[in-house]
Chain A
Amino acid sequence: MAEPVVVVEQEFQYSSLFAQGQTAIAGMWLFLAQECLFFGGLILTWIYARYWNQAGFDAGSHGTVLWIGSVNTGVLVTSSFVYACALLFIQAGRSRLTAWALALVIALGCVFLMLKGYEWHLDFDSHNWVNDPDFPIKGELEGGAKLFWTFYWIGTVLHAAHMVAGIGLVAYVLRRAVRGDFTVAYHAPVEVVGIFWSFVDIVWMVLWPLIYLIGRMP
Chain B
Amino acid sequence: MTRSLVKLTLVWVFLMAVAGAEFVVSGVRMEMANRPVLLCFAAVMVATIAFAFMHLGRAPTVAKGFAVAAVFWLIVLFGMGSMDALTRDWYPVPHYNPY
**A209 in contact with B8 (CB, 8 Å):** no
Is there a chain B Cβ closer than 8 Å to A107's Cβ? no
Question: Which 5 A-B pairs give the minimum distances between C-beta atoms?
Answer: A29-B63, A33-B70, A213-B26, A81-B12, A36-B70
**A41 in contact with B77 (CB, 8 Å):** yes
**A54 in contact with B32 (CB, 8 Å):** yes
**A199 in contact with B8 (CB, 8 Å):** no
Q: How far is the CB of B47 from chain A (nearest CB, A)?
A: 10
Select A47's contact among B27, B28, B45, B81, beta carbons within 8 Å: B81
Asked if A213 meets B77 with Cβ closer than 8 Å, knowing A81-B12, A88-B4, the reply is no
The CB with the most chain A CB atoms within 10 A, among B36, B54, B85, is that of: B54
List CB contacts (< 8 Å) of B18-33 with chain A: 19, 22-23, 26-30, 32
Q: Residues of A with Cβ closer than 8 Å to B?
A: 22, 25-26, 28-30, 32-33, 36-37, 40-41, 43-44, 47-48, 51-52, 54, 70, 73-74, 77-78, 80-81, 83-85, 88-89, 91-92, 94, 191, 194-195, 198-199, 201-202, 205-206, 208-209, 213-214, 216-218
Please name all residues of chain A whose beta carbon is closer than 8 Å to the beta carbon of B96 when the two chains form the complex: none
B-side interface size class? 35 or more
**A195 in contact with B54 (CB, 8 Å):** yes
**B63 in contact with A26 (CB, 8 Å):** yes
CB nearest to B67 among chain A residues: A29
Please name all residues of chain B whose beta carbon is closer than 8 Å to the beta carbon of A25 when the two chains form the complex: 59-60, 63
Instruction: List 10 A–B pairs whose Cβ atoms lie within 8 Å, in order of A's numbering.
Output: A37-B73, A44-B78, A47-B81, A47-B85, A80-B53, A198-B53, A198-B54, A202-B46, A213-B23, A218-B27
**B46 in contact with A77 (CB, 8 Å):** no
Please name all residues of chain B whose beta carbon is closer than 8 Å to the beta carbon of A41 when the two chains form the complex: 77
**B74 in contact with A213 (CB, 8 Å):** no
The CA of A26 and the CA of B49, in the complex, are separated in Å by 17
Q: How far is the CB of B95 from chain A (nearest CB, A)?
A: 15
CB nearest to A32 among chain B residues: B70
Please name all residues of chain B whose beta carbon is closer than 8 Å to the beta carbon of A218 when the two chains form the complex: 27-30
The CA of A44 and the CA of B38, in the complex, are separated in Å by 16
Interface string of B55-84 (1 = CB under 8 A from A): 100011011101101110110011001100
Select A85's contact among B5, B19, B64, B70, beta carbons within 8 Å: B5
Q: How far is the CB of A32 from chain B (nearest CB, A)?
A: 7
